[in-house]
Amino acid sequence: MTRTILITGSSSGIGRATAKLFHEQGWNVIATMRSPEKETELTALENVLVTRLDVQDSASITSAVGAGLERFGRIDVLLNNAGYGAFGPLEAVPMEKARRQFDVNVMGLLETTKAVLPHLRVSGGGTVINISSIGGKVTFPLGTLYHGTKFAVEGLSEALHYELATIGVNVKLVEPGIVDTDFAGRSFDFTNDDSLTEYQEFVNTFLTAQAQLAVGGDKPEVVAETVYRAATDETDRLRYPAGPYATELLAQRAATDDATFIGGIKAQFGL
């Protein structure tokens, strides 16, 4: 029996790489994105359904899940991948942007999961994989909103791990490090206010260091391979660091006290 995965945020980066990998492995793929009319590569693949899903649009979530079930008859794995990062001094960020950050990365993930769970429950099992980040276990400067959402994803996933086990559903977290995607471009939403002069030296130092750190990240395919392993290893393991950088940093965080680790992050950013 051919298994089916539904992926949010499939238009680029990790989502696209994962859709292609699962297709290569013989899965049915429901590749969702906000603007499917712009997609050409995935639509040409057999057993791939490209359809609209915007995690801030409840109707689109319901429609995408329904379309996937109508096309393939089942969903075995949900990959909650859609997300973005709002960075900047908290004083400078409008509250509507703060709400969007949580709506996309947390509320949209929860609503999509809720839309798929009835099918998984009735079918007797499946897997929910949430893309977290090293940013769900460690923090970087000026990432109050982004890190808040990823810490939330870590906590809600761990709690869901208990309750969904009772219906045969595994919950898993994939934790990428720095990934060579357009996250630093289209998905990196930086807000600043030059009139807040007290923050500007800090902001400029951060932006210089961030540009250097973003170079040479893991390829999205590395994360896709970790997602595939999480989906197919038939264990109840919860967390999967993705790539050597994430593995090393998360191990370092677990073994280090707050003052030492945070001091190291400050030094890395020149603060």
In the prediction, which pLDDT does 271 show?
83
Whole-prediction pTM: 0.94
Q: Which residues of the chain have pLDDT under 70?
A: 181-187, 213-216
Active-site amino acid positions? 132, 146, 150
- What is the set of domains in the chain, with CATH numbers? 4-85+101-185+219-254 (3.40.50.720)
Handedness of CA 176, 182, 187, 193 (dihedral sign): positive
DSSP the chain: ---EEEESSTTSHHHHHHHHHHHHTT-EEEEEES-GGG--TGGGSTTEEEEE--TT-HHHHHHHHHHHHHHHS---EEEE----EEES-GGGS-HHHHHHHHIIIIIHHHHHHHHHHHHHHHHT-EEEEEE--GGGTS--TT-HHHHHHHHHHHHHHHHHHHHHHTTTEEEEEEEE-SBSSGGGTTTEEE---TT-GGGHHHHHHHHHHHHHHTTTPBPHHHHHHHHHHHHHS-S---EEEESHHHHHHHHHHHHS-HHHHHHHHHHHTT-
Buried residues in 181-190 as b, exposed as e (16+ CB within 10 A): bebbeebbbb
Q: Tokens for 217, please give them.
A: 């990240």
Report the alpha-carbon distance of residue 129 to residue 267 in Å, rounded. Answer: 34
In the prediction, which pLDDT does 214 show?
64
Model pLDDT for residues 102-152, shown as the tens digit of each residue: 999 999 999 999 999 999 999 999 999 999 999 999 999 999 999 999 999
In the prediction, which pLDDT does 246 show?
92
Report the alpha-carbon distance of residue 202 to residue 92 in Å, rounded. Answer: 13
Handedness of CA 249, 251, 252, 257 (dihedral sign): positive
* Cβ neighbour number for residue 26 with a 10 Å cutoff: 9
In the prediction, which pLDDT does 210 show?
79
Q: CA–CA distance from 34 to each of 51, 131, 263 (Å)?
A: 8, 18, 40
